[in-house]
Amino acid sequence: MHRGVRRKAIFQEEMDYQVLLQVLKNSLEKYKCILHAYCLMTNHIHLLLETGDMEIWKFMKYMSECYAMYLNHKYSYRGHVFESRYKL
């Protein structure tokens, strides 16, 4: 589970959901992970992820950074998008 900072929304419009799905797809390909299930909520996401031998933090860091850069640029935000670390 990965939540927006201060439990704020991480998706403002439908396109944001689509961008996160594309970021997720790219991250899965880059790190050779398997996604079994996901749920995108307004202010957080749930992922059921199989990483194999790769450490999960590498995948989560990359995915989070990519989406945060998109969101910060699109909405002229500054600072963190996600609240602390993801939860296992």
Please write the tens of the pLDDT for every residue from 50-84.
999 999 999 999 999 999 999 999 999 888 899 87
Residues near 68 by Cβ (< 8 Å), separated by ≥ 6?
80, 81, 82
Which residues span the domain enclosing 54? 2-31+41-75
Position 11 in a domain: yes
Taking only the tens place, the pLDDT of each residue in 9-59 is 999 999 999 999 999 999 999 999 999 999 999 999 999 999 999 999 999
Structural domain contains residue 19: yes
Measured distance CA(45)–CA(42) in Å, rounded: 8
Angle between helices 14-31 and 56-75 in degrees, nearest 10: 150
* Residue 81 falls inside a structural domain: no
Domain count of the fold of the chain: 1
In a domain, 85, yes or no: no
In a domain? residue 88: no
